[in-house]
Chain A
Amino acid sequence: MTRILLIEDDTETAEAILAELGDRGFEVQWAGNGVEGLARARASSPDAMIVDRMLPGVDGLTVIEVLRKEQVRTPVLVLSALGAVNDRVRGLRMGGDDYLTKPFALIELVARIEALLRRPSDSRETILHVGPLELDLIERTARRGERRLDLLPREFRLLEYMMRRSDQLLTRAMLLEEVWNYKFVPATTNLIDVHMGRLRHKVDGSGETQLIHNVRGSGFVLRSR
């Protein structure tokens, strides 16, 4: 069972996160402040941590910094009410692996934790395989079974990202940040949907099993089966 340590001082937020992650089959420990969180992180070595940035006593970034100095490489998701780009950059520089600004959707939190737990394995691979899909990163070609997919560069990039994270929920925010390198929320809210629609149209031909799935209200999944 995957064990997660949550360091968050707001009881209601913590309870909601605990309940949601519990439902999804994680074993979650909760610490209400930085000192306790640090102690628990050392004692139980969890698989991933969720750390609120603003904590009474020792703040979240300091907790992460201390752990990183002790060579603890547990993936960390930083939660913060500070959403400015600079805050975010600082949070990641101090050793956080991902950064989520409050308020957030629970599904977004779960998706990011799962992404952290399943980091893309070997990025030196030059040919990716997911189900019937095959992506040649050197030749820049894509095929589904025998059918060759004619992809635009941006579609190729999107498919590559999804194939590296197959069977994971990818939220719109994740795709915007990672694939399009957006540092802001675009005014057109369905920007990702339109791009995904194009890609899906090419990947899932008529009569074929649908590989790209739209998860209502949250994001997309590329299913390998």
Chain B
Amino acid sequence: MQQTQLIRSSTFLWALAVAGSFALFVVALFAFIYWKLDAYLVARSDRMITTQIHFVAELPPARRVSAIADHLAQDSRGVQYAGLFDAAGKRLAGNIDRLPRELGLDGAAQGVQLDLLEKPTAHGPVVRVVGSRLEDGDVLVMGRNVDETREISSVVGQALALGLLPAFSLCLLAGAWLSLRAQRRVEEVNQRVQRIVAGELRERLPEGGTDDPFARLARIVNGMLDEMETMINALAGVGNDIAHDLRTPLTRVRLALERGRTHAATLEQLQDVADKAIAGIDQSLAIVTALLRLTEIENNRRMAGFGDVALGEILREVCDVYDPIAEDKHVGLGVVTECNVQVWGDRDLLFEAVANLVDNAIKFTPSGGRVDLALQAEDETALVRVSDTGPGISEQEREAVLRRFYRSDKMRNTPGVGLGLSLVAAIVKLHGFRLIIGPAPGGRIEILAWTGSAGRPIARRSRALLHAEAGQMG
């Protein structure tokens, strides 16, 4: 199994292909060299024997026999052949036994099988021969052994064996090693991922010290895992918060019902108990509704409801709705919109966000104070500011207020679900805007919106923002 996997792995197959083509190339190269060398040697032999036959033919007939003998005597390696035959084909001199029948006597070199006087080897050597009929009718034959090419070919073969085979095996080995290494890393990653899937959220992929693509990929995945862990932990925290916050009203309901069941004597008393129970259940439902709304906004990636929204109009409308509330609480409520700015967004959601901010501001501003709404515009940005004369949000609380259900201790007795600011944060995030919480004393929350064409591509969920949010959530 392991072996077939190894052979099938693409790394190994690539190595095999490279090694194969390398071998083919080298063999072709050697073949070319051999062929060229052979041709060169033959041509050289041909020139040599042609020169020699001219030399001997030019000699007076009487000296030819001794010249041939001399010539053969000088050849210590035994690669030269010569023969002088009379017109009848009878040998007069030289080491060639018989005149080869197929030899043309026109002075051109030919490859011919020679019958020699002494037969040193089993097979007749490959010989280049040139023959010439002399003017006295004799036939002169000169030849040269070109068996050297065979030696060359054996040398070439040895070179191939010595060079090519190790190279080829090395290639294969490297391929096998690389693919094994990749497989091992994949297997390791797989095991870690399985652990993560099984719920071990702390697990990370091995990054290694190197900077190879694998390590880089691991780093990227680890970055993603970091973010997901933060998010999952935040969600788990939310689950706890929901449970705790739902418990309070439900406990009240339970106590009221339990006491009412045993103690209510009259119909009015029972109705009173029922009213209390309904109020408690309504409060629980309000929490559930607000949560669902938050999830709805956070999950809403579609920009179906988006269009051009006049921020000034929204501010004036919110002011209009909350004016009587503020008046009842003796809190001044004012709005300053110095310009008419349009942003790309969902009108209803932006209204909800601003309404939530104003709602909060009025709630936490003591009687006699002020809440002010302002809209400012600059180049590509618009700033919606809701400021009040209340206690504001302290440095330590700044991140916590965006968490779901967070209510600072001093607000514990204030009615509300505690989801208001997280809702605002979710809406702001959906639009790609920024939520800025100003320093205490005095509450100041700003929404920084992008106007003009810069605001259109909402996909600007920059990493910096994401990290900031993760930090706030954690």
Contacts and interface: CB of A to CB of B under 8 A. Distances in A.
Nearest to B356: A187
Interface in A166-215: 180, 183-189, 191, 194-195, 197-198
A85 B296 contact: yes
A85 B302 CA distance: 13
A84 B289 CA distance: 9
Given A85-B296, A185-B286, A217-B275, A191 B356 contact: no
Contacts of A197: 324
Contacts of B304: 86
Interface stretch (B124-132, B161-169, B213-221, B415-423): B415-423
A84 B278 CA distance: 23
B347 to A, nearest CB: 10
A61 to B, nearest CB: 19
Given A85-B296, A188-B359, A194-B325, A183 B289 contact: no
A83 B288 CA distance: 11
A203 to B, nearest CB: 15
A86 B301 CA distance: 13
Nearest to A189: B415
Interface of B is mostly: helix
Given A83-B289, A183-B348, A188-B359, A194 B296 contact: no
Given A83-B289, A85-B348, A183-B348, A191 B325 contact: yes
B292 A83 contact: yes
Interface residues of A, number: 21
Interface in B254-296: 275, 278, 285-286, 289-290, 292-293, 296
Interface in B174-196: none
A154 interface: yes
A145 interface: no
A180 B416 contact: no
A85 B292 CA distance: 11
Contacts of B356: 187
A147 B146 CA distance: 137
A191 B417 CA distance: 15
B381 to A, nearest CB: 26
Nearest to B299: A84
A103 interface: yes
Interface string A127-162: 000000000000000000000000001100000000
B321 A185 contact: no
Q: Which of A83, A187, A191 is packed against the most chain B CB atoms within 10 Å?
A: A187
A217 B275 CA distance: 9
Interface residues of B, number: 28
Contacts of B289: 83, 185
A195 B286 CA distance: 21
Interface string B65-81: 00000000000000000
Contacts of B102: none
B352 interface: yes
B379 interface: no
Given A185-B289, A185-B290, A187-B417, A180 B321 contact: yes
B333 interface: no
B320 interface: yes
A189 B324 CA distance: 14
B360 interface: yes
Given A187-B356, A191-B322, 6 more contacts: A184-B348, A184-B352, A185-B289, A186-B355, A187-B420, A194-B328
Give 3 closest A-B pairs by Cβ, nearest first. Answer: A183-B348, A84-B296, A187-B359
29 contacts: A83-B289, A83-B292, A84-B292, A84-B296, A85-B348, A86-B296, A86-B304, A103-B285, A153-B320, A180-B321, A183-B348, A183-B352, A184-B293, A184-B352, A185-B289, A185-B290, A185-B293, A186-B359, A187-B360, A187-B363, A187-B420, A188-B322, A188-B362, A189-B286, A191-B322, A194-B328, A195-B321, A197-B324, A217-B275
